[in-house]
Each structure stands twice: as structure tokens, then as C-alpha cells.
A and B are shown apart, each in its own frame.
Chain A
Amino acid sequence: MVRSNSRVLRVVTSDTVFLNHILEIKNGEDRMFWLATVLALTLSSAGAHGTASSPAQVVNSNKKEKLVEAEPPPFTEGIFPCSQCHNPKVNGKVNPTRRELQFHDEIQSDFHHDSENRWCLDCHDANNRDVLHLTSGAPVPFTESYKLCGQCHGDKYRDWKRGVHGKRIGQWNGEKTYFLCVNCHNPHSPKFKPIKPLPPPIRPSEMNRGKR
């Protein structure tokens, strides 16, 4: 009881900015209605700030909102399943030592993900190359790679679950598709690459149709 009260209090406090904002609404009736609405919504959703592992689980079931996972980006053609090549039964024992590989040149040359300290088998599972693994050793399928990312990037992971980090498209109040980490970030080199901007606007002095 005490715990849930303090949670409500916390949520309400964090809503202060917003409440102050809507309190500016001049119409008294409107104000009361809004206040009530916001309080009701806040209270009813206070329990939703749980520890769900994917955004889909955060959704309030009363609403028509529905979160749909974006399709993870496709693998390079012919690369998956990895066990085609990385097969302990064929290749023998896995060498767990960090080293330069004679293959996967493309990935190795563009590996910028704490590359001084980390290498392939920190994320890819040594025994079953078709999955990833958490630091605990628990396997994670490629389609749920965000769990792996979230181990280190806890703040981004939390933001992503709330819809603050990352991108959602579709309907703001209905079916929305949320992008996975790997939809936007290359896991081997996650920093965004600079892109070419679209053209700047025409300057007012150059926009002169019809001038005499």
C-alpha cells in the first residue's frame, strides 16, 4: 500500500510540468475536466511503469493501441544461418581467444563498438552461432537483440521502451510499429553515419518571380 502510494506520488510529481502547463487553460470548467482526466489517466496507468522487456508489454490493454515490432533488417545474403560455416561438429573446438580473423573482413574493418575491449564472441554465442547471448550466458535470438543491447545501454533501453528513444510509425493512437535497435544502428558500428542534407531553402532575395 505504502509502496503504491509513493509510486503514484512520484508519477504525479513528474507530471507537474504538464499540469502547470494545462492549468494555464483559461476556461475554469475545462480546467477541472482536464485535471480530472489527467489525474485519472495518471492513476490508472501508474502500474504500467513496470519492468517489461519489450515495448509491446507496456501497452495498457484498455486502449486500442497496439505495438508491432518492426521487421529486423535482413542479414547479408547467404550469411544466415551462421552454423552453415560455424559448426563445431565440423570445425572442432571453438577458439575463444580474441584475435584477428581471416574471414568477415567487412565486419572487422568497420567494427567500432568498443572495439578495443570487445570482439565477436562477446555477443555471438560460441556454441550456437545462430543466436546471441547475454553476459549471463543465456541465449538470445537475433530477433530479440535489443535485450543484448540493453545490457550495456540501459538508459537507452528504458527510453526505447517508453518510445522516447528510437522511432515509431503508424498510428499515434492505434497500431504502431516500433523500430528495433538494429533497424537504425549497425550493431558492429552503431554510431550514426553523417548523411547528405536535402537542399537549403531558397533565399528571400532569390525568390523574385514577377519582379520588375
Chain B
Amino acid sequence: MNYSPDDIRVHVTDALRAALTRPADIEGSTRIVQDLGLDSLAVMNLMMSLEDHYDVSIPLDRVAEIVTVDDLVKAVVQLTQNERA
């Protein structure tokens, strides 16, 4: 499956919005935990739904580096590209 970075950004933003308990603006620089208030369980469930959707596994050291929405998009883009390589 071929995913463009733009498609991934749209899907990741939608998935984040669905996980929110209250409405919030989601920009590339938005911090997932601090700004959106997602707890650790919600973050894990979000990651796992993205992993299912893109058929990738995000290693834990990569998860630890993800702070902003941009970080998350970048991780998914890189992992989906590796899958094709």
C-alpha cells in the first residue's frame, strides 16, 4: 500500500481528534500529551490503531521520541516507507 505523507497527516489528525475527550486545535507542533491531555492508555491505543491501519509496528524507542503531531506523522511516514523498501 502506498501512503503519501499528506494522506498520513490527515489520517493521524483524524485519529487524534477521535481520541480527544474535549475539542482542541491540532497543528503539527501540537504536543500530544501536554497540549491534548491524552493519558498513557489513550496514547497507546492511538498508536496501536495507527499500527493496524498502516500495518507497521512502532518500536518503543521511537514511541519515546514522539512528542508532537509532526513527530508522530514523521514516524509513520518513515515506517511505511521502510515497509516498501
Question: Does B associate with A?
Answer: no
Chain B residues in the interface with A (C-beta under 8 A): none
